[in-house]
Structure 1
Amino acid sequence: MEQTFFSQLLATLKTFTFKDFIDVAIIALLLFYLLRLFRQSRVGQLIKGFLILLAVYGVSYLFELTMLKYILNSIFTYWAIIFIVVFQPELRLGLERLGRSNKRLRSFVSSTVQNPEDQIYRALSDVADTCAVFSKSKTGALIVFERETPLGEIADTGTVLNSDVSPALLGNIFFNKAPLHDGACIIREGKIHAAGCILPLSDNLNISQDLGTRHRAAIGMSEASDAVVVVVSEETGSISVALNGILTRDFKRDDLYNRLVELIIVGDNNNASGMFATLFNKRKEKKNEKE
């Protein structure tokens, strides 16, 4: 048996071509992408259930369990349709992420803005300053930075403002007696596009029980889009950032500002690209010249 297996393996390797290598590489990349997408989501649990059904299906064939085999055979006959129905939210999320380009937030700065660099950094700085104040006063806040994925449907659930970002305006929006304080604020093109918006809640069962609705909404928004979501806890004053379904907690003012610059201007993993990389590099050059 072992000799037959190794003989077949060697025969396969001898006929292995560059085209086969490309084929295997693409499949490996797709599997890696799916595993990374499904990690820390309910899909993992669903896949475990599917594998259990598959094992039971094999047992039914092995022991000739006619009724069980018939039922499971009927299920697996329509497995493609069942898969699409059950995994619809995750498939939609995966296709959205696959369709995003490498350039980050091309629409963040309008072409009509005279000093786009100053507006970008001022918006990020004002958000960081405001969150630091909110952290001390334990004022809850939920701020969404729109990037590649349009958030028009989310913005429609709130009130459109199209106002410049400022600590005073953010303070008025999230004041606990204000009508818009319970919703999220969406920042688009360096401005507060809308406030009082309703975000989708995450259904990830692995989220810590000490996180409330505001944090679950931040994670849910980051799962459904490529947005960067900043959340300030009303109970603890902790500042957190949600990205791609992962919540990073306990930011200080400067750490938050640097992280926002990294994600929104420079790009993920410090891979600067496009207009924002140019602006970032120019700012660094000016700073170095002053020093």
Structure 2
Amino acid sequence: MSIADFDVLKYLSITIDILLVWYVIYKLIMVIKGTKAVQLLKGIFVILMVTVISDWFSLKTLNWMMEQVLLWGVLGIIIIFQPELRRALEQLGRGRFFSRTGGQEEEEQEKMVEAITKATDYMAKRRIGALMSIERETGMGDYIETGIGLQAKISSELLINIFIPNTPLHDGAVIIQKNMVAAAACYLPLSESPFISKELGTRHRAALGISEVTDSVTVIVSEETGSISLTKNGELHRDLKLEQFKQMLANEFITPIKPKQTSTPRWNWRGKKNG
């Protein structure tokens, strides 16, 4: 083997090594995406920046403090990121570390929208109260842990059965994560907004509360009137017709569709009132 061939193999090996490292970093980022770990990473970045600046300007006390934080930070990272590390290892063990194709993702989202719409229609007609929150980018692991874990394939029959009165799981919210029913009987934070109408009950207040702290989309079926409502980004869309409701879900979770110009009753509980 000539020296030239050796150099080519060496550079090829280095290139493959770099590409593999970048791929692993990318997959790790995708694992923690949508969780609170993203905010923690920002905090770590700030600490590193402060360390560099304090060293540059010879701020000895501040630099010593930052060095102590970094020294013990490895143990702290293991403790803080324990859920994300466990999740990554579980995916690796199941062979799911590689992403699904976009077509499969869209097909699953269509099935989810169809199942939620069908279940909502059934419960609205029979005035069965329901509260369903669908996770998006912001992780809802803390709220999932307050309920009963299911990790079940989503279906309209399952959702209906959960909310049938006097069953063990009917009281509380269902949280849907990655097109799966992650948990039922979950507790959601109640909104403390003073602009909420007095006629709205705990379900609507909880739906608004979770929409204020996450980017989730939450569906409410009123037990008193059978009306369908939806919250997102701190806004409540009340008394939706079934087609309006389905269109809104499709626009949020499937490839954007241009909706028909229909007016929906909407209130922004942060102080601005619309239509």
Q: Is TM > 0.5 for Structure 1 vs Structure 2? A: yes
What is the CA-CA distance between 1:253 and the residue it aligns to?
A: 2.1
Say if 2:97 is the partner of 1:123. Answer: no
What is the CA-CA distance between 1:190 and the residue it aligns to?
A: 0.8
The residue number in structure 2 matching 1:195 is 184
Please point out which of 172, 175, 179 is paired with 2:164.
175
Q: 1:126-146 deviations in whole A, cap 9, x for unaligned?
A: 101110111110000001110
Letter in 2 for 1:262: N
Please point out which of 100, 105, 123 is paired with 1:134.
123
Aligned-partner SS, 2:175: strand
More helix by share: 1
The residue number in structure 2 matching 1:7 is none
The residue number in structure 1 matching 2:211 is 222
Please point out which of 236, 249, 252 is paired with 2:241.
252
In the alignment, the residues of structure 1 paired with residue 227 and residue 147 of structure 2 have an alpha-carbon distance, to the nearest angstrom, of: 25
For this pair of structures, how many residues does the alignment match? 161
Q: Is 2:106–2:255's contact at 8 Å kept on the other side of the alignment?
A: no
What is the CA-CA distance between 1:218 and the residue it aligns to?
A: 0.3
In the alignment, the residues of structure 2 paired with residue 218 and residue 179 of structure 1 have an alpha-carbon distance, to the nearest angstrom, of: 21
In the alignment, the residues of structure 1 paired with residue 190 and residue 256 of structure 2 have an alpha-carbon distance, to the nearest angstrom, of: 26
The residue number in structure 1 matching 2:99 is 111
Q: Is 2:138–2:216's contact at 8 Å kept on the other side of the alignment?
A: yes
What is the CA-CA distance between 1:268 and the residue it aligns to?
A: 11
Q: TM-score, normalised by structure 2?
A: 0.55
In the alignment, the residues of structure 2 paired with residue 188 and residue 206 of structure 1 have an alpha-carbon distance, to the nearest angstrom, of: 30
In the alignment, the residues of structure 2 paired with residue 145 and residue 125 of structure 1 have an alpha-carbon distance, to the nearest angstrom, of: 14
Q: 1:180-214 deviations in whole A, cap 9, x for unaligned?
A: 11111111111111111000000001100000001
Q: Is 2:250–2:257's contact at 8 Å kept on the other side of the alignment?
A: no
What is the CA-CA distance between 1:257 and the residue it aligns to?
A: 1.3
Report the RMSD for the aligned CA atoms in angstroms: 2.0
In the alignment, the residues of structure 1 paired with residue 177 and residue 227 of structure 2 have an alpha-carbon distance, to the nearest angstrom, of: 24
The residue number in structure 2 matching 1:144 is 133
Q: Is 2:175–2:183's contact at 8 Å kept on the other side of the alignment?
A: yes
Q: Is 1:142–1:185's contact at 8 Å kept on the other side of the alignment?
A: yes
Q: Is 2:152–2:181's contact at 8 Å kept on the other side of the alignment?
A: yes
Letter in 1 for 2:194: L
Please point out which of 189, 202, 215 is paired with 1:213.
202
What is the CA-CA distance between 1:165 and the residue it aligns to?
A: 1.1
Letter in 2 for 1:150: G
After the TM superposition, which residues 35-54 of structure 1 pair with which residues of structure 2 at under 5 Å, given as runs?
none
In the alignment, the residues of structure 2 paired with residue 224 and residue 204 of structure 1 have an alpha-carbon distance, to the nearest angstrom, of: 13
Unaligned segments of structure 2, at least 5 residues: 1-97, 260-275
After the TM superposition, which residues 14-163 of structure 1 pair with which residues of structure 2 at under 5 Å, given as runs?
111-112=99-100, 115-163=104-152
Q: Percent identity?
A: 42
Unaligned segments of structure 1, at least 5 residues: 1-109, 271-291
In the alignment, the residues of structure 2 paired with residue 222 and residue 269 of structure 1 have an alpha-carbon distance, to the nearest angstrom, of: 24
In the alignment, the residues of structure 2 paired with residue 152 and residue 181 of structure 1 have an alpha-carbon distance, to the nearest angstrom, of: 20
What is the CA-CA distance between 1:112 and the residue it aligns to?
A: 4.5
Aligned-partner SS, 2:106: helix
Letter in 2 for 1:187: I
In the alignment, the residues of structure 2 paired with residue 195 and residue 253 of structure 1 have an alpha-carbon distance, to the nearest angstrom, of: 24
Letter in 2 for 1:226: D
Q: 1:48-96 deviations in whole A, cap 9, x for unaligned?
A: xxxxxxxxxxxxxxxxxxxxxxxxxxxxxxxxxxxxxxxxxxxxxxxxx
The residue number in structure 1 matching 2:254 is 265
Say if 2:226 is the partner of 1:237. Answer: yes
